[in-house]
Structure 1
Amino acid sequence: MDTIFEPIKSKLHEIDSIDYGKPRKKIVILGAGMAGLVSAYELSKLGHEVTIYEASNRVGGRVWTKRFADGQYHEFGAMRIPEAHDHTRYYAKDVCKLDFRRFVNDHDEDDAFYYIKGIKSQHKKALEELIPKLNLTLGEKEIVKRAIANDENLLVLLGTPFASLLEEIKSKSEDLEALFAKGPITSRIQELDQLSLGDFLRRFVNSQDALDLIGAITALEVWWDKAVTMFLRDEISQEPRESNQTGLLDEIVGGLDLLPTTLASKLQDNVNINYGREVISLEKQQEKIQVVLRNTKDKSDIQSIDCDYVICTIPFAVLRRIKLIGLSEAKNRAIRNLSYASSIKVLLHCRERFWESKYKIIGGGSQTDLINRSIYYPSDNFRPMAVRKMSKTKGLHTSFVRYDREVIDKDVSKGPGVLLGSYSWGADARRLGTLPHKKREEVVKNTIANFHPEIMEEGMVDDSASMFWDEYDWAGGAFCFMNPGDFVRYYEDTIAPEGKLFFAGEHCSLDQGWIQGAIISALRTIKDIVSQ
């Protein structure tokens, strides 16, 4: 696996070695998200002159913490960091000196709820309250019964078919390297890349109710049409790589936006950040890259600059509406066709953490097949006493941990907290996202009331906020997410430079949707630039 996941410190050492003794360069970076900030940080350390142009008035891009008036907060964007994501953890811990705490993931809290096909059940009571009311085959019922008897859970319905495929791919180095673009494409990976997640599962799941159940408890139903290779990479990249790793998730104490804001504060004097500057034109010329910028507050204020080197971290969904001149047809094709995922989060600031005080739910999530899909409870009052049970699978969508745990402070449980009332993807995100904010809040509260009627009490929700990433000007979608065939057709063209115009961002990686991917792409781009 070392050939697939190169440690970050070896990458940084290689960059230093390549750059040593060469003339210093002037580099323009478009975008101050994580890819742009990491690029600026590393290049400035090497002594290069860096200028960043950012369209919004903040750093971080899709790393965005929403803070309420009383100091309570939750995340509009990225909210968790897998233990195996060494690049993200390096910048958060080693560079920015930020503190981590355990992120209690969606199936880690056994007192949380399912609400599926109109049936309410706690996770721990699913075998008695949910499964008998579903039209599963005898074989599927037996799989669930055996799993719960072994202290596993319903995720076994997804984990079982995935486990055999994962082991097959990992057992053949040429397929594993091809899956992560570390070697030539193989016939097996080419075949799998044409297969959707839904079509893959239908080979193993015999009843529609079982497929519906998997789709609801993982929220993946809206992504049955996405490439199964995306999920294979996601599962493998979460697996522990060192003996002291367990496959768990963490969050940053104080909010994930502390990562970009702290990193920005550490940029050296040879970095200049310009806010409120949107790119309206990019032209690849014979020797230079011409960038045309417009002041977002004064549309008549237009600036044209000729650049020696440009790192473009603008999402392709946004780049699609920018005038592009001189790019190859292959790059234009990738920009036109690379798929982005829709996502929405609806945050409910509650006057009381009733889920802790009444239901003993400390972190984790509840799942529904309604429009809000996934509900997450805050992990900030969670104290793990011991790990009681870890699932055999370690991937993001198939793993869980059961803890002996307690609240850190019982008084906190009686006070305010932020409930992530909806984390929804795909078509449901778009259906919810087309509504005005107050209507989103109303719809989400009505769905949560099926298992938490307290949410409807007068004044229980005293503030709220939401983010639909499709409608955010500088994102155009939540993250890149490939359709069948996209990897083979577009990935190499997506990451390829166009002369002295380089591309970075999570969409230019195979850790799409993660901060890790943005950082990996940034380091690859830095290496390419200093090599010239």
Structure 2
Amino acid sequence: MTEPSSVLPMSRRDLLAMIGLVAGSGASYRAMASMGLVAESTYKGPIKLDGGAKGKSVLILGAGHAGSVAAYELRKAGYKVQILEYNERVGGRCWTLRGGDKFTELGGATQTCGFDPGLYVNPGPWRIPFHHRALLDYCKRFGVALEPFVQVNYNAYLHSTEAFGGKPQRYRNIHADFNGHVAELLAKCTSQNKLDDAVSKEDTEILLSALKEWGALDKNYSYASNPQSSERRGWEKPPGGGIGGAPIPSTPMSTSDVLKSGLWHHLSIGQQVEFQTTLFQPVGGMDGVAKAFQREIGDLVRYRSKVTKIDQNDSKVTVTYVDSQTGGAPMQATADYCLCTIPLSVLSQIDIKVGPKMARAIRAVPYESAVKLGLQFKRRFWEEDEHIYGGTSYTDMPIRLIGYPNTGYHSSGKGVLLGGYMFGPNAYEFTALPPAERVRKAVEYGSKIHAQYKTEFDNGIAVGWHRVPWTLGCAGTWTEDTRAAHYDNLCQLDGRIMLAGEHASYVNAWQEGALLSSLNAIERLHKHVQSH
């Protein structure tokens, strides 16, 4: 790369902005955390509900993680507990689909999963960050075996329909070339004393040394075709053995090509706190967590219970429900208190007797649309042909990404990919199609990244969360304004009713949020019981 004829002075703010761009949103996240705007999990260990239950009963609505952990801890503390659950299983959105599983979405479309034995897709949560301490603690206590989840795979692809003729690029190529070119630019600014007093003379030498190492620059602080850059982006001809084994360095893309491709947008995801190494997944499917809870509290659950009304007075809570599959005559359950974990998208349509502040809060939170597609292929061609083991490829096509299985490496026979994970308009557009057409479109899009798609495809399944009747969306969506106006009112004890779930947390759309919300709610409920 030639030296620019002129370099504009760079202020401290500009330097931080550029480094922030390279560092990605993870740096922004940590900066916000330092200002108290966001935080990691607040879990400090097993909850202690001392003092006894005073003979009180709690009716829990929903057997997702929020409801399940509440039932587990409240029963241990001596409360009489019962759960009403819409489905025939525990877990809520912690859901895994395997061969033979069926589900029916709004509109009546029924899909049957056709995967081979041992293969699965997680339509809901599919990864556990290392700092989600509550979830990891319950996994440990309940014996849920975990294995690594690969978030960033340098051999996976970044793809744009508008760049490089639509040809996918290896993640490591874009990562190395973006970092290398930015490092070179910064090094030239530094060596020409153009940083406008942003760093001292002593720090300038340190910065130049750091940029050289970080960006794989040569002795002239240039990012070029040489062994240093090839160790990052890969070789034109890799090192071999015997005669002819000498490697040939690869040639970096130009600064302009890398910047105009827009593919650098995807580089920061692995630096966000939620996606930093190490992440985990339960062995055999995310519903391993749900099954563990079911072993602990399944005897407390009344399944196939669709709540239609939640009433309360000065002495008790009364919940009316019907069979979620057959309807029939209404039934009722009563308790001293109620912990409701029903998603707000559904709860807002239920007759619930709470004060005006909580009622407004329930109606204030919309739910995100989302679609996940599981695609089974005749062989694991991503491993056999392209040497991709786990991780994710990203694209600007509507499917957004392709997720590779993080287990079963080198297995013979078929394999399942996450064939797309869509939000917003793309999710609505996909679910406007019949399920089979959604799968067909996912295969069409995916073939732009993996040409093997069309010949190796076997079968698939598509879950649109805003069409799932018991949740009507992926997760609650807050804004700064709605949190300020409604969050505390949503979480307060209203008479004898309290709410919990990921929507009642600052860790939205994560299992950790559901657990933290529920543990906080039952701790406050227990204090209330102790004081009355």
Q: When the two structures are superposed, what TM-score results if normalisation uses the length of structure 1?
A: 0.71
Shift of 1:254: 1.1
- Partner residue, 2:284: 254
Alignment of 1:475 onto 2:471: yes
Aligned partner letter, 1:331: M
CA separation in 1, counterparts of 2:277 and 2:265?
23
Alignment of 1:329 onto 2:356: yes
Structure 1 contact 109–365 (Cα < 8 Å) conserved: no
- Classify the secondary structure of the residue corresponding to 1:32: coil
- Partner residue, 1:102: 148
CA separation of 1:25 and 1:127: change in aligned 2, threshold 3 A: closer
Deviations 1:244-291 (A, max 9, x none): xx74211111111011112211238xx521111111111232322221
Alignment of 1:36 onto 2:67: yes
Structure 1 contact 433–468 (Cα < 8 Å) conserved: yes
Deviations 1:318-359 (A, max 9, x none): 11111123x122211111111321111000011100000000
- Partner residue, 1:55: 86
- Partner residue, 2:519: 523
Mean alpha-carbon deviation: is it higher for 19-28 or for 62-71?
19-28
Structure 2 alignment gaps of length 5 or more: 1-32, 100-115, 189-209, 217-258
Moved over 4 A (4+): 1-7, 127-131, 138-149, 209-220
Mean alpha-carbon deviation: is it higher for 289-298 or for 273-282?
289-298
Deviations 1:283-310 (A, max 9, x none): 2323222211111233222013332111
Aligned partner letter, 1:504: A
- Classify the secondary structure of the residue corresponding to 2:393: strand
Structure 1 contact 72–417 (Cα < 8 Å) conserved: yes
Alignment of 1:5-20 (within 5 A): 8-10=43-45, 12=47, 15-16=48-49, 19-20=50-51
- Partner residue, 1:124: 172
CA separation in 2, counterparts of 1:453 and 1:148?
38
% of aligned pairs identical? 28
Alignment of 1:343 onto 2:370: yes
Structure 1 contact 88–516 (Cα < 8 Å) conserved: yes
- Classify the secondary structure of the residue corresponding to 1:286: coil
Alignment of 1:223-234 (within 5 A): none
Structure 1 contact 35–522 (Cα < 8 Å) conserved: yes
CA separation of 1:478 and 1:322: change in aligned 2, threshold 3 A: same
Alignment of 1:237-276 (within 5 A): 238=274, 247-267=277-297, 271-276=299-304
CA separation of 1:416 and 1:330: change in aligned 2, threshold 3 A: same
Deviations 1:358-379 (A, max 9, x none): 0000011111111100110001
CA separation in 2, counterparts of 1:449 and 1:518?
37
Alignment of 1:35-434 (within 5 A): 35-68=66-99, 69-94=116-141, 96-105=142-151, 107-117=152-162, 119-120=166-167, 121-126=169-174, 142=185, 150=214, 213=263, 235=272, 238=274, 247-267=277-297, 271-325=299-353, 327-381=354-408, 407=409, 410=410, 412=411, 414-434=412-432
- Partner residue, 1:449: 447
Deviations 1:189-233 (A, max 9, x none): xxxxxxxxxxxxxxxxxxxx879656666799xxxxxxxxxxxxx
- Classify the secondary structure of the residue corresponding to 2:160: strand
Deviations 1:29-80 (A, max 9, x none): 0001011111111111122211110011111100001113322112110110
CA separation of 1:421 and 1:10: change in aligned 2, threshold 3 A: closer
CA separation of 1:484 and 1:84: change in aligned 2, threshold 3 A: same
Alignment of 1:511 onto 2:518: no
- Classify the secondary structure of the residue corresponding to 1:453: coil
CA separation in 1, counterparts of 2:381 and 2:461?
19
Which protein has greater RCO, CA pairs closer than 8 Å, 6+ apart? 1
- Classify the secondary structure of the residue corresponding to 2:402: strand
Deviations 1:368-395 (A, max 9, x none): 11110011000104xxxxxxxxxxxxxx
Q: CA RMSD in A?
A: 3.4
Structure 1 contact 311–503 (Cα < 8 Å) conserved: yes
- Classify the secondary structure of the residue corresponding to 2:319: strand
Alignment of 1:465 onto 2:461: yes
Aligned partner letter, 2:132: H
Q: Which has the larger radius of gyration?
A: 2
Shift of 1:434: 1.9
Aligned with residue 492 of structure 1, among 463, 488, 491? 488
Shift of 1:461: 1.9
Aligned partner letter, 1:99: A
CA separation of 1:486 and 1:117: change in aligned 2, threshold 3 A: farther
CA separation of 1:359 and 1:494: change in aligned 2, threshold 3 A: same
CA separation in 2, counterparts of 1:111 and 1:342?
27
Q: When the two structures are superposed, what TM-score results if normalisation uses the length of structure 2?
A: 0.71
Deviations 1:498-521 (A, max 9, x none): 111011111011111111111111
CA separation of 1:439 and 1:281: change in aligned 2, threshold 3 A: same
Mean alpha-carbon deviation: is it higher for 494-503 or for 480-489?
480-489
CA separation in 2, counterparts of 1:148 and 1:444?
42
CA separation in 1, counterparts of 2:510 and 2:517?
11
- Classify the secondary structure of the residue corresponding to 1:259: helix
CA separation of 1:148 and 1:288: change in aligned 2, threshold 3 A: farther
- Partner residue, 1:173: none
CA separation in 2, counterparts of 1:463 and 1:144?
51
Deviations 1:127-180 (A, max 9, x none): 79999xxxxxx989958999998369xxxxxxxxxxxxxxxxxxxxxxxxxxxx
Structure 1 contact 339–483 (Cα < 8 Å) conserved: no
- Classify the secondary structure of the residue corresponding to 1:378: coil
CA separation of 1:149 and 1:330: change in aligned 2, threshold 3 A: farther
Aligned partner letter, 1:424: M
- Partner residue, 1:27: 58
CA separation in 1, counterparts of 2:52 and 2:176?
69
Aligned partner letter, 1:522: S
- Classify the secondary structure of the residue corresponding to 2:429: helix
CA separation of 1:287 and 1:212: change in aligned 2, threshold 3 A: farther
CA separation in 2, counterparts of 1:361 and 1:151?
25
Shift of 1:22: 4.6
Structure 1 contact 114–217 (Cα < 8 Å) conserved: no
**Residues paired across the two proteins, number:** 413
- Partner residue, 1:243: none
CA separation in 2, counterparts of 1:349 and 1:449?
14
CA separation in 2, counterparts of 1:453 and 1:473?
36
Structure 1 alignment gaps of length 5 or more: 132-137, 153-208, 221-233, 240-245, 382-406
CA separation in 2, counterparts of 1:57 and 1:463?
26
- Classify the secondary structure of the residue corresponding to 1:528: helix
CA separation in 2, counterparts of 1:330 and 1:353?
53
